[in-house]
Structures are given as C-alpha cells and as structure tokens.
Structure 1
Amino acid sequence: MVSSPRRVGVLIGDGIGLEIVPAAVTVADAAAAAEDFRIDWDELPFGAAAIASHGDPVPEATLSALDDLGLWIVGPHDSASYPPEHSSRTPGAVLRNRYGLFANLRPAKAFSGVPATAPDIDVLIVRENSEGLYADRNMAVGSGEFMPTPDVALAVGLVTRAASERIARVAFDAARARAASGSPARVTIVHKANVLRLTTGLFRDACREVGKEFPDVEITEQHVDAMAALLVRRPADFDVVVTENLFGDILSDLAGELAGSLGIAGSVNCSTTQVMAQATHGAAPDIAGRGVANPVAMIASVSMGFRRFGLMTDDPALVAAADRIDSAIADTLAASIATADLGGTASTSQFAYEVARRTGVA
C-alpha cells in the first residue's frame, strides 16, 4: 500500500533547466515508488516563462505557493538574458531572502567512472548564504554596492555573530553526521582574518566559540588562499569546510571541478524548516534543447533535498529514497554511462532512465 504523498514544488527555470529538472523528477519518482510513496509535484511559474505569463520571473503566485511548502527543486535561471527591469535581482536571491535560506551545502566527491583531478576528494563546503560581500543580500533596502562618483565603486561586506554562529552549528552537526561511519569528525574554518580582521575575524571567532560545544569534532583553520591551494594539493585532508559567502562560492566551484565537473555537483539552500534543491551550475543556454545536458548535479541536488528535509521532518522514507538515488547515480556512472561532457554518449533523458532503473523501480 502506497503511503501518503509528499508535496514538492518544482520551478523548472531556463535553458537546460527544461531538460535536467524533468530528468531529476523522473529519478525522484522512481526512488519514491521504490519506498512505497508518491510525490505530488507542484509546478510553479518561474524564470523567463514566468515573465511571459505573469510579468515577473518569481511571481506572487509562486511565492504564495512556496509559503506552504517545505521542499522545492529549482532549475537554473538565465537572469542575464531577462529584460533590464527584471535583471537587478536574481530569482535565486528572491527565494533565498524571502525564506531565510541561510545555509548553502555543497558537497564534492569523486565518482568511479568520472575522471577527476582529485579522485580522493570527499568534502562538504558549508557556505554562509545570507551575508558577506554579496550585494544582493547584505542590505535591507537597496544594494551593498554603490558608486559615489562614476569612477569609484564601493562594496559593503556584512558579517554578524548571529549568522556566523548559526552556520557554524550546521557545519559541526554535518561533521558529526558524516563521521557516523567511523571516520573522525573534522571541521575546517576558512577565513582571511590576517587581512579582513574585523569581518572574517568575527566569523572565525564565532565559529571557534560554537566549536567548544562540539568537543568530539577536530577543528582546524585555514586562510582562504591557502585553502584553495591545499584543496588542490591535499584534498583528502578535509572533510567539512565552513566559510563565509564569497569564499564558499569560490571554494565549492573549485572542489566541484576537482571532483570531476560542476555538472556532478549537487547543492541545497536551506533554513531550519525549508529546503531548496538547486544545482550549482548555470542555465547553459548554448546547449539548451539539444538533449546533451548533464543532469547529475540536479538529480544529486534533489537527493540532498530529500535527505535534508527528511531529517528535518523525521521522514525516513524520504531519507531512504535519497540513499537510493545516490547509489543509483554512482552505479550508473561506474557503468560508464554518462553524458557527452563526461565522455559518454547518453542523452539527458537516457541517463535519467538508467539512474531511475537502478533505484529499484524502472
């Protein structure tokens, strides 16, 4: 007997989102069926299509629906191509700010069957997602960038103790969870307090204080420039990395490429009650509509969303479905089935079918 359905929002987005989001839905449906539940997908207007239909890339109808949802998946957006009146704030920023999605979790792990620069990498970047030097999220009104004259541009970086402590707890909890298999729990605090003494110094100090609540977790620190070099040289030395917004964005892209490709890098943005699954890469309009887009990152993001929300809501079926998806992705890639960017010949939909088949229900 199929258990009660789970309602999940779907915002397909632009470019290759029209291909990789349906691919991820196909896999998620198969994993859910294997765990005897179904998903009620609530498709909502978003991106360029929403501008055409509602005059806004993130219309009020979409936001009203998301107000009642704990989990949704989001395809990439191509806001650079939007009309000027819609390009000042990205759709992702609108969603992050409205729902307080303060934590961006970005794992990077090499897969068998995917050539990787760092085949021993298995790291989770825990990125503070609401502050830093990002102009779209550090002011209550307006932008954190401004120009007193046409030849001078300034940027305001925002770091608060409360937000730093909040993201630190996410990182330390994640390290404990990842250590459940027997490996030691480790967190590396990344900052630049030798130069940005007040801002990233505050971030570092707040993380240190939270670390005292986790005596079982080994804590190390790195300056961000050294951390970039060490990720390349000794990636296996690192487990969970916690850092501020800009540093986290850069380091997670580096880690994703070291693992093989940004095309395999899943990601979630979350608060303590809501989760948004969104791949780290962009809309890739140059290959949209050709059926060659790599859906791994989107599928992996949905798996991360299932797991995160399942743990939040004590829903073991969602967590079990996430386990099935992760195993199916790994098995498919290990069987040398991949899209062209990873050296394979599978189309987007063919790859999704193969992953779905390996979840246990084709």
Structure 2
Amino acid sequence: MTLYKLGVLEGDGIGPEIVKATIRLVEAITEKHDVEMEWVPLLVGWKGIAEANHPLPEETKKALQDCHAWVLGPHDSASYPEEFKNIRNPSGELRHHFDLYANIRPAKSIPSIEGVVEGADLVIYRENTEGFYVDRNMYHGVGEFQVTKDVAITTGVFTRQAIERIAHAAFQKSMQRKKKVTIVHKANVIRIGSGMFLDICKEISREYPEVEVDDYHVDAMCAHVVRRIQDFDVIVTENMFGDILSDLTGELIGSLGLAPSINANQEVAMAQAAHGSAPDIAGKDLANPIGMMLSTALLFEWMSEKFGDSRLEIVGNKIEESLHRTLLDGIKTKDLGGDRGTQAFTAEVLNRVL
C-alpha cells in the first residue's frame, strides 16, 4: 500500500486555521478508506521569516521534491519586510520553481449557496508561467523595468511550448467532461502574443476532433459568463486573463471564499484556495475553510489520475459530499450568512463524513 506524503505550508493570516481544518477532514476520510498519509509540515511566510529568515526557505523547496503533492495556505506577502518585497512571493516562487504550468480553477454552483448565477459547472485552465505575470515569465530576473521615473515597461511573454501544454491539458480534461473548449484571448489588440495563443490552441484542437471549440475576446467573455455561464465547460486562457476570469466566476457562484484551485504539471501539484490571507480576521475563528477544503478535494482528484489510485478520487469526492451535506442542512460560516466559526463548522462537516 502506497504511503502518500503531502507537504503542509500553512501560510499567513487565516492560513493555519483553514489548513488545519482541512487536514482534520482529510484524515477522517482517509482513515475510513485505508489511505495512508504522511503530512510534512514546512516553513513558509512569516513563520519562515522568523525561523529561517526567508518566506520560502530553500529547505522547504528541497523537502517538497520528496512529496507527492502539497497544500499551501494563503500568504500575506504585502506585509513582509522590504527586503522580501522585490522577490517572488511564496506562491509565485513555487509555481516558477516547480514549473506548475496549469492553474486549474473550477466554478461549480453549490447546493444552498445563493450565487449571482445558477447551474454553473465549468473549469478554467489558466497558463501559469508567463504572459504578463512578470514575476515568473523570465528565466532570470523580472520582466518589468522603469526607463525613467515616468515610464514603466512591462513585458508579456508567449511561447509555443507553454501554449501547447496548457492547450493539451484543457483538451484532455474536456474529453472527460462535455467535449467543449472555449479559448479566451485578446487577439484583436495583442495581435502577435495573444494571437499566437489563439492560433496554437486552435492548432492543438485539431488533435481532438471530437471536441467542440469556440473562442471569445476576454472582455466579451466576462459578459458571457455573467449572462450564460451554463453554456461553458472547459475554458483555456492566458495567465492574467485566467486570473481575472476565475475570480469573476468564483464570485458568481457565491463567493471567492468558496473557489478552489490547484497548480499542477504532469508530475506534482499544489492545492491553493483562490482567496487571500484575510489578516483582519486571523485567529478569531471566523475563517471559512471551504475554499481550502475544495482545493484539496481537487488535489486528490489529480493525485488519483497521476498515481492510478481510485481510492484517492473517493477521498476527493467524500470531501465535497460532506461539505454539501453540511451546507444543505443550513450550517454555514458567518461570511455565508450562518453562525458557525471555523472550528464549529469543521466539526459539523466531520459529523457528515460517510
């Protein structure tokens, strides 16, 4: 029987609270399904600064190389000391260092959560290594500089390799879903870079003749998901557009605090809720752990495919099912209109694990 090693990076603010709540839930489920887990706690964020003088110590990155996957809580890099503000934040560095090229963000309507829209069930495949994200689009240095105090230049990077692999990931997922892919771009204005993204995605689509393909400019797409989100299934897009669009779809289903995501390549993956560290409520037992829990469910789904272990898919499904049962019983955290704190809500979810 395989022993799965998962790195634990609690992060800052509410991170330790929601990560610990998530681990409690995973442990309850894996125990019922004979899945052996080893949690590997590692330094990150303010704890890393305090104990190793860096928000992402080299020891942490080395230890992660021996893990099957890991869970990252939100970090509060905006408040770090000045010497750490000119380097990649922990999330960006992990994505860059491990080449986690696919940021995968589902947006699915949740029972008993009133969203702006209904009937959503889509997943966004966001290219995660280049585009206009200057902290990760260069081999060395940052793709942004200031010519004079009044002139700043930001470099966007688009490469065939990166576009091909995110396109393949999206089309492969579509073959498991509704066989429909929407390409989101801005080729009418960013004609070479975004045009290259569109052209290569269409080129890759010919390898998947069963898949229906359409495309939209990103500004139009934002309107379409508000008006008819039910019409979309798998969306593939560039880094910045994917970041913006996935935050929008997360809010449309009820709250960005519910939105899950993983960052992955073909070998390793990292669960990371889409929301921030909320330092104003840290330590007050007010944090909503659902986003972190659903991100970890998504991580187990990825692990199941990677390691060919159907028990891991069951673990992911059980996380989602116990959360849905809890919400259907009217039990919610305060941000969702309920009266439960982090620990009390987690206890209710644990009581509904089957």
Short-chain TM bin: over 0.9
Could you tell me which residue of structure 1 aligns to residue 169 of structure 2? 170
Q: Does 1:209 align with 2:203?
A: yes
- Provide the residue aligned with 1:277 in structure 2: 271
User: Partner residue of 1:240?
Assistant: 234
Over 4 Å off, 4+ runs = none
Q: Distance in 1 between matches of 2:33 and 2:155?
A: 48
Deviations 1:143-177 (A, max 9, x none): 11111101001110001111101000111111111
- Residue range with higher mean Cα deviation, 147-156 or 3-12: 3-12
The secondary structure found in structure 2 opposite 1:123 is strand
In the TM superposition, residue 356 of structure 1 has moved relative to its aligned partner by 2.4
SS, match of residue 247 in structure 1:
helix
Write the deviation string for residues 326-361 of structure 1: whole angstroms up to 9, x where unpaired: 11111111111110111111111122222223222x
Cα distance per residue 1:276-323 (max 9 Å; x no partner)? 000011100011111011100000011111110121111111111111
The answer as to whether partners of 2:96 and 2:129 remain within 8 angstroms in 1 is yes
- Corresponding residue of 1:225: 219
Match of 1:290 among 278, 284, 295: 284
Partner of 1:182: none
Distance between the aligned counterparts of 1:22 and 1:243, measured in 2? Answer: 33
Contact 1:30 1:357 survives alignment (8 Å): no
Matched position secondary structure for 1:286: helix
Secondary structure at the residue paired with 1:358? coil
Q: Please say if residues 111 and 334 of structure 1, whose CA atoms lie closer than 8 Å, have aligned partners that are also in contact.
A: no
User: Tell me, which stretches of 5 or more residues in structure 2 are unaligned?
Assistant: none
CA apart distance, 1:122: 1.3
| CA contact 1:34–1:359 (8 Å) conserved in 2 | no
1:133 aligned counterpart, secondary structure: coil
How many angstroms does 1:5 deviate by? Answer: 3.0
Contact kept? 1:45, 1:58, Cα under 8 Å: yes
Distance 1:357 1:44 in 2: 29
- Which residues in structure 2 correspond to 1:126-275 (within 5 Å)? 126-179=125-178, 185-275=179-269
> Are the counterparts in 2 of residues 34 and 321 from structure 1 also a CA contact under 8 Å?
no
Q: Which amino acid aligns with 1:334?
A: L
Can you list the C-alpha shifts for 1:241-285, whole angstroms capped at 9, x where unaligned? Answer: 100000000000000000000111000000100010000111000
Aligned AA (1:146): F
Aligned with 1:41 (options 39, 42, 46): 39
Structure 1 unaligned spans of 5+: 180-184
Considering Cα pairs closer than 8 Å and 6+ residues apart, tell me whether 1 or 2 has the greater RCO: 1
**Matched positions, count:** 353
- State the AA in 2 paired with 1:21: V
SS of the residue aligned with 1:234?
Answer: helix
Please tell me whether the aligned partners of residues 4 and 68 of structure 2 are also in contact (alpha carbons under 8 angstroms): no
TM-score after normalising by structure 2:
0.98
Structure 2 Cα separation of the partners of residues 38 and 319 of structure 1: 14
